[in-house]
A and B are shown apart, each in its own frame.
Chain A
């Protein structure tokens, strides 16, 4: 059977990305235009500027994806695009562009959930991996423990009640003067800090062992910083970073291991931008190994926002019969499973 080629577009936050993926598994091209340098000037992602950058970058990025894959638009079978969740103005650029391309080229259109894409990033490098499996999704906007029951079908076991893990890392990074992007800055600073230097509670939600709460943990760190400032002490950035990062990792690992044990799961799939954090990967590797479990995780390039993962998710949605109409909209708070 001939390969099914998906052209995928992703613009939900601060990366403009396009990719060509064959059969949901093989990456023929994966182009990412990052806006980090721009947003660094403002200490975080500025939605209006992100949207303006997407407009400037989107055609060259898509053209590069086709060129690098060595295919013409005519050879593409499906056009997939992230239609949520994310920044609405940013999403709209990719959605309008992808719809116009699909319409003009006479190709079917498939909207993709950004987080489903993050999970599917694992299919790009692990050919043997098939659902059902347990997954831990950790990003700037999301913290979910879920079971992918079948392609595109999720059962959510737990989610964060307040901040996402990456969001809490960003806020602590800002408070301690590390700036944007917070996650990578914390990870780097933590390398030279003591993880037990500052007491940070391990957040939990009563009666909901799979749900997360990072807000109280973040507040504890902010209180320590305030207290230190008032008493004329200086806390080391490295110690704050190491202590908070360790606390976040401990919570993520313990929740995931508890779910694995309860469900009798022998595999854990890690996904999302924070999955690129080496300390988190190492802690999960160790926890899985000691329980005879296998950890699946994408390479760092597929952890951050990219379109290849959208191409994989789009392929499986298309295979199950999903077709979107020309009125497909950007949905900033799209729920997993919608």
Chain B
């Protein structure tokens, strides 16, 4: 089975083609947020260099959020356009789950931390069971790093942190957890389209696809205008 992976939820832009048990091609760039200009050329380059045939692609896996609203939409619209043109389904892969999947087999807590601004992180909690299956211990959420620490302390044991939230909050994590805080090495410390595609393959085999027309990012946050409006309405009611 062949699957395209699209990742543009944060600073990283990445495109990959995964065929069965191996990555055919991957292009990952962690430099400036110009995903609109880089993402499709990177996919084009990956497919051309691998002499890929788009007709043999079974699905398109997209990093579905949380993340930067604009970044997510660039990835989503790209995946939706591919799905429409190729007549193939999409696989919506939670961004934090794809990040955690890079640490395959890890029995400790895996905690992706994406800098969500305003002192918050987008995060989720994952681990692997003895048979190599990834378990979602807590679905992605947007919250304070302190809340993440409480959750990890409550569960006990070591936790592996990764993501662009690590450089922002590393001091607090080390202070709170000491030697129980581990940090992922560079090749798995940020988003990668190959991980999106690899986890996408797992979901595809389980039949968890979504029609290209139906796919939309999981923002986890309402827009500022909606937040202010509901505050206004609540204020008016009280």
Contact = CB atoms under 8 A, between A and B. Distances in A.
Nearest to B70: A89
Interface in A20-70: 41-42, 46, 48-49, 51-52, 54-56, 58-60, 62-63
Contacts of B217: 55
Interface in A80-105: 88-89, 92-101, 103-105
B1 to A, nearest CB: 18
Interface string B212-229: 110011010001111001
A39 B83 CA distance: 29
Interface string A250-269: 00000000000000000000
A66 to B, nearest CB: 9
A52 to B, nearest CB: 7
Given A58-B77, A99-B78, A327 B41 contact: yes
A325 B41 contact: yes
Contacts of A96: 36, 39-40, 73-75, 77-78, 81
Contacts of B36: 92, 95-96, 329-330
Interface in B5-50: 34, 36-41, 43-44
A73 interface: yes
B77 A97 contact: yes
Contacts of B43: 103
Nearest to A325: B41
Most chain A Cβ neighbours within 10 Å, of B40, B43, B82: B40
Nearest to B223: A48
Given A55-B76, A96-B77, A329 B69 contact: no
B168 interface: no
Q: How many of chain A's residues touch chain B, expressed as a range?
A: 35 or more
B93 interface: no
30 contacts: A48-B69, A49-B223, A49-B225, A52-B219, A55-B217, A59-B80, A59-B83, A62-B84, A63-B213, A89-B70, A93-B73, A93-B77, A96-B74, A96-B77, A96-B78, A97-B80, A99-B40, A100-B78, A100-B82, A101-B84, A101-B85, A103-B40, A103-B43, A103-B81, A104-B54, A104-B82, A105-B85, A327-B38, A327-B40, A327-B41
**9 shortest interchain CB distances as A-B pairs:** A100-B81, A104-B85, A96-B77, A59-B213, A48-B223, A97-B77, A46-B225, A97-B81, A326-B40
Interface of A: 41-42, 46, 48-49, 51-52, 54-56, 58-60, 62-63, 73, 88-89, 92-101, 103-105, 325-330
Given A42-B229, A49-B225, 12 more contacts: A42-B225, A46-B225, A54-B73, A55-B73, A60-B213, A73-B84, A93-B77, A97-B77, A97-B84, A101-B85, A327-B41, A329-B36
